[in-house]
């Protein structure tokens, strides 16, 4: 699938950025053939896989308020008893961060079909992964938000970061800048309303909107609580993107904000796993991870949201956040996708190496 923006008038700087990365524009465009992130495309592929691969693929959905399905996709050999196998959940909370959708869909494609979405053969040991692990993917926790995005991928050619922030959390009617980032808001109470509702918020009732990663009413948390009831999960990978303003890096692994209070065995597992992810990023052509691995640095209210909503999960879970550069000329969408896939691949390698 080629994206129209490669031919738009303002794309001149984009090939220059690619040249600096030694990526030819054509190669980058071709690599977008592995990219699927639009909710309707995701739903169609899931329907196809459900029919073709019932032994290895189980798709379950919760319906969000918008009416769209939020999928939890379990990939394993379901014929054999899977209860004893090491297991991981991969999930993507934020609608302005589409690369983790594309990465999860292409990763699943490789496991099921032996091929990337563009048809090239996978290098993954897929039979071993299917036989020895249980992988649950939640490729998009807020498809209504994703569907409302003005682009399929944020490549830095069409929106400045300031405009991008307005798409994320809405535009303040008075300042014209990004509206506030809160856990929940009600559009019958807020005055003035944002001139544009941010796509990162998930509508959960006629008038209420939640930040999926910061409120338990989100479909993301509804799924996580249910999945945690079902079985033990050895690893939880939270897939995100950020802007790395003022930096040249394109990837970062983050430990929980309450890392210092976690039991030592969880700390040790998180740090070793995060190191494996960072090492995998560094091996990728154009991978440029920040080497330092530390707890989430939020303070004040934003930190408190995590303490309140994730605190209980941190007590018994091995959980790492992956951040890949978004909306930047120096990290084109195929690279965003490849970096996200590396984090997933390193997590599966970690499961096989350390969780049996
Ligand atoms: Zn995010």
Each residue's pLDDT tens digit, 235-288? 999 999 999 999 999 999 999 999 999 999 999 999 999 999 999 999 999 999
Q: Measured between alpha carbons, how far is 183 from 180 in angstroms, rounded to an integer?
A: 10
296-332 confidence digits (pLDDT tens)? 999 999 999 999 999 999 999 999 999 999 999 999 9
* 293 CA to centre of ligand 1 in angstroms: 17
Sign of the dihedral through C-alpha 244, 247, 251, 254:
negative
296: CB partners within 8 A, 6+ apart: 254, 255, 256, 257, 303, 306, 321
* 31 CA to centre of ligand 1 in angstroms: 24
Residue 188 within any structural domain of the chain: no
* 93 CA to centre of ligand 1 in angstroms: 6
Q: Do 253 and 318 meet the contact criterion of CB atoms below 8 Å apart?
A: no
Q: What is the mean pLDDT of residues 325-340?
A: 97
Higher-confidence residue: 190 or 26? Answer: 190
Q: What is the mean pLDDT of residues 117-131?
A: 97
Residue 175 within any structural domain of the chain: no
* pLDDT score of 20: 52
* 177 CA to centre of ligand 1 in angstroms: 19
Residue 133 within any structural domain of the chain: yes
* 262 CA to centre of ligand 1 in angstroms: 23
* pLDDT score of 5: 32
Distance (Å) of CA 72 to CA 75, 199, 238: 10, 21, 14
* 192 CA to centre of ligand 1 in angstroms: 26
* pLDDT score of 17: 52
* pLDDT score of 81: 79
145-191 confidence digits (pLDDT tens)? 999 999 999 999 999 999 999 999 999 999 999 999 999 999 999 99
* 182 CA to centre of ligand 1 in angstroms: 14
* 279 CA to centre of ligand 1 in angstroms: 22
* pLDDT score of 356: 74
- pLDDT over threshold 60, residue 92: yes
* 92 CA to centre of ligand 1 in angstroms: 8
**What percent of the chain stands above pLDDT 70?**
91
How many secondary structure helices (H) and strands (E) does the chain include?
A: 11, 11
Which CATH number is 264's domain given? 3.40.630.10
Q: Do 113 and 107 meet the contact criterion of CB atoms below 8 Å apart?
A: no
* 134 CA to centre of ligand 1 in angstroms: 24
Q: What is the mean pLDDT of residues 79-105?
A: 94
Q: What is the mean pLDDT of residues 125-129?
A: 97
Q: What is the mean pLDDT of residues 93-108?
A: 98
32-64 confidence digits (pLDDT tens)? 899 999 999 999 999 999 999 999 999 999 999
The DSSP H or E segment spanning 228 is helix 219-230
Residue 194 within any structural domain of the chain: no
- pLDDT over threshold 60, residue 26: no
Residue 79 within any structural domain of the chain: yes
* 198 CA to centre of ligand 1 in angstroms: 13
* 195 CA to centre of ligand 1 in angstroms: 22
> What secondary structure letter does DSSP report for 194?
P
Q: Measured between alpha carbons, how far is 212 from 223 in angstroms, rounded to an integer?
A: 11
Specify the 3-state DSSP secondary structure of 326: coil
* 97 CA to centre of ligand 1 in angstroms: 6
Residue 181 within any structural domain of the chain: no
* pLDDT score of 23: 53
For 77, the domain range is 4-148+214-354
* pLDDT score of 28: 55
* pLDDT score of 229: 97
* 229 CA to centre of ligand 1 in angstroms: 25
Paired strand residues for 185: 209
Distance (Å) of CA 112 to CA 88, 118, 126, 129, 198: 17, 14, 8, 11, 35
Residue with structure tokens 């899931």? 46
* 119 CA to centre of ligand 1 in angstroms: 29
Residue 196 within any structural domain of the chain: no
Number of domains in the chain: 1
Residue 279 within any structural domain of the chain: yes
Residues less than 5 Å from ion ligand 1, measured at CB: 94, 240
Specify the 3-state DSSP secondary structure of 338: helix
- The length of the chain, given as a count of residues: 356
* 239 CA to centre of ligand 1 in angstroms: 7
Residue with structure tokens 């597992």? 269
Q: What is the mean pLDDT of residues 2-13?
A: 33
Q: Say which range, 9-18, 209-218, 320-329, 346-355, has the weakest mean pLDDT.
A: 9-18
Mean pLDDT of the chain: 92
pLDDT class of 355 with cuts at 50, 70, 90: confident
* 216 CA to centre of ligand 1 in angstroms: 16
What value does the CA radius of gyration of the chain take, rounded to a whole number of Å?
19
């Amino acid at each position: 699938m080629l994206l129209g923006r490669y031919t738009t008038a303002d794309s001149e700087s984009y090939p220059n950025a690619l040249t600096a990365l030694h990526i030819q524009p054509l190669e980058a465009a071709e690599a977008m053939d592995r990219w699927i992130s639009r909710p309707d495309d995701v739903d169609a592929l899931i329907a196809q896989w459900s029919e073709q691969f019932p032994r290895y693929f189980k798709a379950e959905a919760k319906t969000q308020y918008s009416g769209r399905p939020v999928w939890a996709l379990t990939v394993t050999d379901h014929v054999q008893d899977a209860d004893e196998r090491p297991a991981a959940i991969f999930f993507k909370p934020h609608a302005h961060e589409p690369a983790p959708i594309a990465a999860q869909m292409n990763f699943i494609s490789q496991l099921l079909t032996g091929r990337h979405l563009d048809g090239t053969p996978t290098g993954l040991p897929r039979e071993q992964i299917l036989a020895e692990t249980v992988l649950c993917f939640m490729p998009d926790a807020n498809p209504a938000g994703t569907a409302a995005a003005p682009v399929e991928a944020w490549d830095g050619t069409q929106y400045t970061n300031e405009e991008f922030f307005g798409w994320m959390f809405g535009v303040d009617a008075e300042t014209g800048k990004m509206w506030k980032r809160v856990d929940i808001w009600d559009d019958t109470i807020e005055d003035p309303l944002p001139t544009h509702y941010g796509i990162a918020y998930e509508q959960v009732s006629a008038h209420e909107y939640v930040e999926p990663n910061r409120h338990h009413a989100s479909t993301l948390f509804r799924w996580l609580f249910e999945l945690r009831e079902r079985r033990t999960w050895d690893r939880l990978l939270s897939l995100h993107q950020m802007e790395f303003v003022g930096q040249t890096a394109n990837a970062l692994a983050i430990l929980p904000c309450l890392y210092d209070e976690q039991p030592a065995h969880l700390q040790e597992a998180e740090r070793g796993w995060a190191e494996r992810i960072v090492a995998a990023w560094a091996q990728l052509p154009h991978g440029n991870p920040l080497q330092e691995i530390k707890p989430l640095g939020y303070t004040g209210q934003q930190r408190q949201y995590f303490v309140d909503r994730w605190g209980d999960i941190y007590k018994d879970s091995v959980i790492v956040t992956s951040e890949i550069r978004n909306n930047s000329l120096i990290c084109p969408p195929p690279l965003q996708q490849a970096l996200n896939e590396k984090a997933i691949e390193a997590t599966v390698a970690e499961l096989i190496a350390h969780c049996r």
